[in-house]
Structure 1
Amino acid sequence: MALSREEIAARYGTALFGYAQDMNSLDAVHADLQELAQAVSANPQILSVFSDPIFNSDEKRASLAVIEKDFNVEVQNFLNFLLEYDRFADLLDIIDRFNDLYDQKNKITSGTATTAVELDDAQLAALSKGYAQKYGLKDVRLENKVDESILGGVILRIGDRLIDGSVKNKLKKIRVQLINKD
C-alpha cells in the first residue's frame, strides 16, 4: 500500500527531527533546511532533477554533492537517504513537518494579526512579544492582514485560538446587551 504525501512527510520529518536531536545539531539542521527550502522554492526544477528517471543515479549523486557541500553532515546524510529511497519529490513537505516539530519544541508559533490599518514592524513585534509572554511562548511570528471593516483594534488568530479585540466586535457586544436589556 502506497503512503500519502502527508504520511511520508510525517515519517521522514519526524525521523530527521529525532536524528538531529540525537546528534545535538537541531539548530544547525533547522538553519540548513530553511536555506534549502528557500532555494527549492525559488527553483522548483531542482526537485524534478532528483525525481526524474531520465537521470541515472550517478548523475543525481553528482548534482546532489554540489548542492549539499555547504550543509552539515546530518543534512547531507538525510538528502542522500532521500535520493536513495526516491523521496525527493516530498522534500518540502518533509521540511514543513520538521519545522512544525522544531517550533513545538522551541515554543514558537505563527499567526495573523488583522487590523484596520497596517501595523509597522515595531507594533507587530510588540504585539508578538506580549502574546508570547502571556502564553509562555518563546516567539510568535505574526503576519499583518488589513481589513478596514473591523474599524479598529486587532483580531489575533494564532493556532486554534482567536482573540477578537476589534471595535466592530465590541460594538456588536454592546448592541446585544442593549437589545437584551429591553
Structure 2
Amino acid sequence: MNAPEVVRRYAATLLEAADETGATAAVQRDVERLLETVRQSGELAEFLANPLTDSQAQANILRDLFSGKIEMLTLNFLRLMAVRGRASIIGAALGSFLDQVAEREGIISAEVRSAVVLSEEQCQRLRERLERRSGRTVRLDVQVDASLRGGAIVRVGDTVFDGSVNTYLERLQARLAG
C-alpha cells in the first residue's frame, strides 16, 4: 500500500470512530489545533519525523503533551500511529481527516501558490470563480511563492490551473525554439 493510501485510511478510520462516538466536531477542533501546533513547533515536527526515535517513546511523549487537552479518541489515535511506527505521517493523516470532513460537507480545498500576497478582494474573486466552476463551496489555502516571478498556480483536487509567469515563459521559449 502506498503512503497516500495509508494516510487516507488512517484518516478515514479516525473519522469513522469520531462519527460512531458522536465526537466528530470535537475531534475536528482537536485536529485543527494539533496541525497548528505541529506547524508552529519545529521540534515536535522533527521528533515525529525522526525514524530513529523509539515508537513507544513517541507515544508516551504525545500522551504527556496532549493528555487532558484533546479528546481521548484523538489522543489514542495519535498514540496508535506512533506505536505502529507511523508518527512521521501523523500530520498528513490529520490533514487528510480535515479534507475528508470537508468533502463530506461539500467543501473542497484549493491550494493557491501566488508570487505576491493576495488581497482579501482577490481571494474572494478567486473563491467565487472556483465555486462557480466546481458547483461546491471552496476553502482557499493561499501561500506566497516568490520563485513564481508572477502569477499564481491553483490546485483543486487533481486539477491544476497554472497561470504563473514561469510557465508562460517556458511555453513562449518552446514556441520560439519550435
TM bracket (short chain): 0.5 to 0.7
CA distance in 2, matches of 1:144, 1:93: 18
Match of 1:99 in 2: 98
Q: For 1:80-95, what aligned pairs fall within 5 Å after superposition?
A: 80-95=79-94
More moved, 99-108 vs 127-136: 127-136
- Can you list the C-alpha shifts for 1:3-28, whole angstroms capped at 9, x where unaligned? 54334313212211211222233232
> Secondary structure of 2:135's match?
coil
8 A Cα contact 1:111 1:142, kept in partner: yes
From the CA coordinates, give the structure whose radius of gyration is larger: 1
Does 2:35 match 1:37?
yes
**Gaps (5+ residues) in structure 2?**
169-178
Look up the equivalent residue of 2:108 and give its one-letter code.
I
Tell me the percent identity: 19
Q: Which amino acid aligns with 2:53?
A: D
Distance 1:138 1:40, change over 3 A: same
Paired residue for 1:110? 110
- Note the C-alpha offset of 1:110: 0.9
What's the CA shift for 1:71?
A: 0.7
Question: 1:128, 1:142 within 8 Å by CA — same for their partners in 2?
Answer: no
Consecutive aligned runs of 4 or more in structure 1 exceeding 6 Å deviation: 144-150, 163-166
* Maintained 8 Å contact 2:154/2:162: yes
Q: Distance in 1 between matches of 2:134 and 2:2?
A: 34
Distance 1:111 1:16, change over 3 A: same
Task: Kindly provide the amino acid, as one letter, of the partner of residue 10 in structure 2.
Answer: Y
